[in-house]
């Protein structure tokens, strides 16, 4: 199979992962396009015996981190209404059920979010996931654990209706 065909096969996966990272469909589309453009330009760096999925996802993740860092350096909010695009009509029960989880991942740090969504969407082995994110396996395990706990606690608070901050008597 040709290099270009292999890349095309990964586009739906890249798009799904980018959407989970960016929340905004337009930003996700730009992210995938940047990734594909860089992959085509850097094709000479791809080892033919390697797994192209790891190579592409690592590329997309790096571009995503670059976007995040440049946005924060400019003190801009890249996605002012992150998560709002997923609000749907009340008739869609499955969407409503997962709304808490989606809002939970939107508050995660980018690194934790990327690690969690990579496992959720692609289910790679820890070794491959660590390669994609360019970190060691211990760091990956730590990020996944913290991300999961954050999502769980956020969803539990949301289900109890504790979304807003309340004053607590300390003395």
Partner 1 sequence: MSADDRRQPVSDEELSAFADGQLPPADCARVAAHLRANPQDADRIHSYWRREAELHSAFAVAADDTAPEPVAPVRRPAFPLVYAAAALVLLAVFAAPWLLPVDGGGAKPLPAHGAGPLKQQVISSHAGLDLLPGAELQPRGELLPGGEVQPGGELQPGKELQPGGELQPGQLPAVAAGVTEYRFHDASGTVLVLYEGAPGAGAYPSLKSGAARVEWSAGQRDFMLEGTPGAADLMSLAVGLQERLAPSPAVDQRMGDSPVPSPALQLRQEEVSPAGVSKM
Binding residues (CB under 8 A) for partner 1: these are 2, 4, 7-9, 11-12, 14-16, 19-20, 25, 28-30, 32-33, 36-37, 40-41, 43, 85-86, 94-95, 97-98, 101-102, 104-105, 116-117, 119-121, 125-126, 141-142, 144-146, 148-149, 151-152, 155
* Helices and strands, counts by H and E, the chain: 7, 0
Nearest approach in angstroms of CB 50 to partner 1 is 18
- Nearest to partner 1 of 54, 142 (CB atom): 142
Question: Smaller CB distance to partner 1: residue 72 or 145?
Answer: 145
Q: Which position has the token pair 């995503």?
A: 64
Nearer to partner 1 by C-beta: 77 or 96?
96
134's torsion region: left (phi>0), alpha (psi -120 to 50) or beta? left
What is the signed CA dihedral for 69, 54, 142, 118, rounded to 10 degrees? Answer: 80
- CB distance 28 to 67 below 8 Å: no
* Cβ atoms 113, 105 nearer than 8 A: yes
Closest CA to 17 of 153, 115, 157: 115
Least gap, CB of 26 to partner 1 (angstroms): 9
Smallest gap from Cβ 171 to partner 1, in A, equals 31
Nearest to partner 1 of 65, 83 (CB atom): 83
């Amino acid at each position: 199979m040709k290099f270009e065909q292999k890349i095309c096969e990964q586009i739906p996966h890249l798009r799904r992962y980018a959407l989970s990272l960016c929340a905004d469909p337009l930003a996700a589309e730009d992210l995938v396009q940047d990734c594909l453009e860089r992959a085509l330009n850097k094709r000479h760096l791809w080892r033919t015996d390697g797994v192209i999925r790891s190579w592409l996802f690592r590329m997309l993740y790096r571009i995503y981190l670059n976007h995040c860092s440049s946005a924060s350096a400019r003190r801009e909010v890249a996605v002012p209404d992150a998560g709002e695009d997923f609000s749907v009509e009340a008739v869609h029960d499955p969407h409503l059920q997962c709304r808490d989880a989606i809002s939970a991942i939107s508050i995660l740090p980018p690194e934790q979010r990327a690690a969690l969504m990579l496992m959720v969407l692609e289910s790679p082995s820890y070794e491959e996931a660590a390669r994609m994110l360019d970190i060691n396996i211990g760091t990956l395990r730590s990020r996944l654990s913290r991300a999961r706990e954050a999502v769980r606690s956020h969803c539990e608070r949301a289900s109890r209706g504790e979304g807003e901050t309340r004053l607590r008597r300390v003395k």
